[in-house]
Amino acid sequence: MSYSLLVMKFGGTNMGDGAAIRHSASLVTRSIKEEIKVVVVVSAMAGVTNQLLKIAASAETGDIASANDEIAAMRTRHFTAAQELGAAPDSDTVREIREMHETLRQAVYGVYLLRELTPRSRDLIVAFGERLSAPLMSLALEGMQVHAKHVSGGEAGILTDSHFGNAKPLPQTYERVKDRLTGFLSAGVTPVVAGFMGETEKGATSTLGRGGTDFTATIIGKALSADEVWAWKDVDGVMSADPRVVKDAQNIEILSYGEVMELAYFGAKVLHPLAVTPIKESGIPLRLKNSTDPDFAGTLVQPEPQHIPDRPVKAVTSIKNVSLITVTGAGVLGVPEVIASVFTALARENITLLMVSQSSSMSNVSLAVPGSDAGRTLQALRSGLSSELNVEEQNDVAVLAIVGSGMRGQRGVSAKLFASLASSGVNVLMISQGGSELNISVAIEGGQVDTATLAVHQAFGLGRAAVSG
């Protein structure tokens, strides 16, 4: 296929140091040499986002000395990368990086003075990671004779709601991004957009949730009606399991938008869970490609799933650090209002529900929520429900899910799942199957999640050995 416009996204590893950034820039120029226009979207250098979160937390607790030490170390890293990419000490890039670090230092000092870290100030601080790596990508591209210009997410036109930490693009975003970036492209300029961030209508910096640079790339893909969005990764694409846990995991050639969303939602860190939402309607394909093997096709994400005979399940994923909350009591028995008030309380608190299960007698309702939301969930339920009801929590739980469109209407899939869990001694705490039949998820004890993942991966024959053997 011949392309005219691609959006290319580079994550933290691909922006890790000067050499990695130069290699990423070379992947962009490869396409530009073929007369393809490219919009580049970049993440922070690997580890920088976590470092910024730590800096913000130190300032809030009054430890400004540690915060400043970390900022200094980070600044050295950005300067070193700029130098590796050929920037002179008095160059515009070095000056820009110095100024950004100074603004960051001031923002962190403000948090220290107030001893208060609001979601809004956390977003301002954490988005510096992407803002600082964008000039480095421009520098690398300029070094390859590509005329590049870097912009923040807000400058690129991404306008979001005010859910700081998990903001979503507003509908006007798409027209704005189109207006702003088309100008660059028609002038022969390659835009380099700082991922993960946007701005609110009041001009405050917001972030799109962890892993949000994938989301930035697809938002831009939709706005410009790109031919494809390419997310360059440090793995072959979406794999049949987390390759750090299952050595035998293999690349999945084709996934539908629905399948990849389920995978990302149930913990496959390789893609932001909402990344496919912007491109779904227009059917723009997303490719996940390995930056160290650019000729390998990777994973193609498209509207329709691919049915592979005898392979109803395509991947197994898991979410760790989950809490199970169970509401019990005679009052739950046959009273739909109780269920309604459970959901109302959770919605009010904006809590992510990973699984819900209700016994058919309606004498209890169990909910799986991220461990970090457990405290708020308990509080919301205890204050929102009648005191006759009992609310209990169980911590250190994991949710394991199998995903694949071929499970629909296929008998024996659950039997195989439960048999493989039972034979490896894994106790199932809760079960749920989505109405779409794209996944079956189970809650298990946290300590058993890797054993369970390996067993299930093997039982469904998902590994490389199963294919070649």
Task: Give the footprint of ligand ASP on this chain (CB under 6 A).
Answer: 11-12, 43-44, 49, 129, 195-196, 210-214
Give min distance, CB of 420 to ligand ADP, in A: 18
Closest CB to Mg ion among residues 37, 272: 272
- Using CB under 5 A as the criterion, which residues of the chain lie in contact with Mg ion when the complex forms? 11, 211
What is the C-alpha separation between 393 and 396, in angstroms, rounded? 10
Diameter of the chain measured on Cα atoms: 73
Give min distance, CB of 197 to ligand ASP, in A: 9
Residue 96 interacting partner from ligand ASP, ligand ADP, Mg ion, none (CB closer than 5 to 8 Å by kind): none
Give min distance, CB of 169 to ligand ASP, in A: 15
Residue 210 interacting partner from Mg ion, ligand ADP, ligand ASP, none (CB closer than 5 to 8 Å by kind): ligand ASP
Reference 238, options 278, 289, 281, 276; nearest CA is 289
Residue nearest ligand ADP by beta-carbon distance? 11
Closest CB to ligand ASP among residues 51, 138: 51
Give min distance, CB of 187 to ligand ADP, in A: 29
Residue 404 interacting partner from Mg ion, ligand ADP, ligand ASP, none (CB closer than 5 to 8 Å by kind): none
- Pair 378, 346: CB distance under 8 Å: no
Closest CB to ligand ASP among residues 195, 273: 195
Residue 129 interacting partner from ligand ADP, Mg ion, ligand ASP, none (CB closer than 5 to 8 Å by kind): ligand ASP
How many Å separate Cα 56 from the centre of its chain? 21
Give min distance, CB of 308 to ligand ADP, in A: 17
Put residue 86 in one of left, alpha, beta given phi > 0 → left and psi -120 to 50 → alpha: left
Residue 13 interacting partner from ligand ASP, ligand ADP, Mg ion, none (CB closer than 5 to 8 Å by kind): ligand ADP
What is the C-alpha separation between 450 and 446, in angstroms, rounded? 9
- Give per-residue burial for 270-308: e unless 16+ CB within 10 Å, then b: bbbbbbbbbbbeeebbbbbbbbeeeeeebbbbbeebbee
What are the structure tokens assigned to 230, written together? 């390419």
Closest CB to ligand ASP among residues 194, 316: 194
Alpha helices per DSSP H over 15-167? 18-33, 48-60, 64-84, 92-114, 119-126, 128-142
Give min distance, CB of 45 to ligand ASP, in A: 9
What is the C-alpha separation between 315 and 250, in angstroms, rounded? 9
**Residue 382 per-residue DSSP state:** H
Q: What angle do CA 10, 79, 41 make, to 5 degrees?
A: 20
**Residue 160 per-residue DSSP state:** B
What is the C-alpha separation between 436 and 453, in angstroms, rounded? 22
- Using CB under 6 A as the criterion, which residues of the chain lie in contact with ligand ADP when the complex forms? 11-13, 43, 211, 233-235, 238-239, 241-244, 268-270, 315
Closest CB to ligand ADP among residues 135, 211: 211
Give min distance, CB of 310 to ligand ADP, in A: 21
Closest CB to ligand ADP among residues 122, 289: 289
Give min distance, CB of 157 to ligand ADP, in A: 22
Closest CB to ligand ASP among residues 215, 257: 215
Closest CB to ligand ADP among residues 147, 269: 269
Residue 229 interacting partner from Mg ion, ligand ASP, ligand ADP, none (CB closer than 5 to 8 Å by kind): none
What are the structure tokens assigned to 426, written together? 């894994």
Give min distance, CB of 43 to Mg ion, in A: 7
Q: What type of residue is 15?
A: M
- By CB atoms closer than 10 A (0-12, 13-18, 19+), residue 81 is buried
Residue nearest Mg ion by beta-carbon distance? 211
How many Å separate Cα 4 from the centre of its chain? 27
Closest CB to Mg ion among residues 11, 237: 11
What are the structure tokens assigned to 200, written together? 């609110």
Give min distance, CB of 268 to Mg ion, in A: 10
Q: Which residue has the tokens 């708020």?
A: 376
Residue 234 interacting partner from ligand ASP, Mg ion, ligand ADP, none (CB closer than 5 to 8 Å by kind): ligand ADP
Residue 268 interacting partner from ligand ADP, ligand ASP, Mg ion, none (CB closer than 5 to 8 Å by kind): ligand ADP
Measured from the Cβ of residue 310, the count of other Cβ atoms closer than 10 Å reads 7
Closest CB to ligand ASP among residues 128, 460: 128
What are the structure tokens assigned to 273, written together? 């869970």
